[in-house]
Amino acid sequence: MEATPKLGILAGGGSAPRELISVCRAQKRSFFIIALEGQADTDLMCDASIGLGAFGKLKKICQQERLSEMVMLGRVRRPSVAELKPDFLGIKVIAKIGLNSLGDDGLLRSVSKAIEDECGVSIVGAHDVFKELLTPEGVLTKVGPDRQSQKDIKRGFKVVRSLGSLDVGQAAVVQRGLVLGVEAIEGTDALIARAGELKREGGGGIVVKCAKPQQDDRFDLPTLGPSTIDCIVHAGFVGLAVESGRSLFLEREKTIEAANKAGIFIVGLCMEEKDGE
């Protein structure tokens, strides 16, 4: 029986790479962690580290470790050209891609294709390897959304999908029909904190997260985890709605436990059903 090939993990910041590492260990899948310098958490235990423009070094690692599959996972801040410090192959790739002419999704697609072409690996999604990382459908906590929250969820998803089609953000905060904020470059946690300062009287308020309509699901899927719940609780909102099947649920037991303790809801919703309403 042929052994499962070693999985390359190209790691950015946040807890997502650690979650994938934990799942790999639990499933006894061998892996090789490549941390992106200046992006990955400094305390991440990695096997190698590379700069964002070091395509030549990445190619050498892939060949030495005989990697055939790679996951790009974790938060990556978009760098300036000066920060890239490319090697010889990196200069060639960057010149071909044209970084400044692309939105986030276009850039990710171009970078992943360059890695596949130059390094001889297939870029796959974390959920392609381990389906259990995806958010399931349904109410996942002891409490669910009330009627007002359901209305806010519907409005929030509509807003995020509209902005997502323009390659802008994956989240919004809605309170009693009023959009308090939408995600831009700052990320979801900062969005929730900012929206909390704009919260109106009367209670309620929900956070929605969904993938962009045109998004390549292999990378940058919306994520939720304990930090998301902490931010929602601190801001005084009542729940979180995420797109089921197209979002990554990190540290699931810990996240649900924190939500239940705070009395807020988490619900996974199928966007095909929402679009059909």
What would the two tokens of residue 190 be?
């900062």
- List the chain domain ranges: 7-131, 134-275
Q: What is the pLDDT of residues 95-124, one digit of tens each?
A: 888 765 556 677 788 889 999 999 999 999
Half-sphere exposure of 191 (CA within 13 A, CB side): 22
Q: What is the pLDDT of residues 187-244, one digit of tens each?
A: 899 999 999 999 999 899 999 999 988 888 898 899 999 999 999 999 999 999 999 9
Candidates 3.20.20.70, 3.40.50.20, 3.40.190.10, 3.40.50.10440; CATH matching 7-131: 3.40.50.20
The reported pLDDT for the residue numbered 101 is 52
Q: What is the pLDDT of residues 138-197, one digit of tens each?
A: 999 999 999 999 999 999 999 999 988 887 889 999 999 999 999 988 889 999 999 999
pLDDT higher than threshold 80 for residue 61: yes
Measured between its terminal Cα atoms, the distance across the chain in Å is 48
d(CA 61, CA 270): 39
The domain at 134-275 falls in which architecture?
3-Layer(aba) Sandwich (3.40)
**134-275 and 7-131 share a CATH fold:** no
- Weakest mean pLDDT among 53-67, 89-103, 127-141, 194-208: 89-103
The reported pLDDT for the residue numbered 84 is 76
Q: How confident is the model at residue 94 (pLDDT cuts 50, 70, 90)?
A: confident
Q: What's the chain's length in residues? A: 277
Of residues 48 and 79, the one with the higher pLDDT is: 48
Average pLDDT, the chain: 90
Which alpha helices (H) appear in 98-180, and where do they start and end? 104-119, 126-129, 147-164
What pTM does this model have?
0.87
Q: In whole angstroms, how large is the CA radius of gyration of the chain?
A: 19
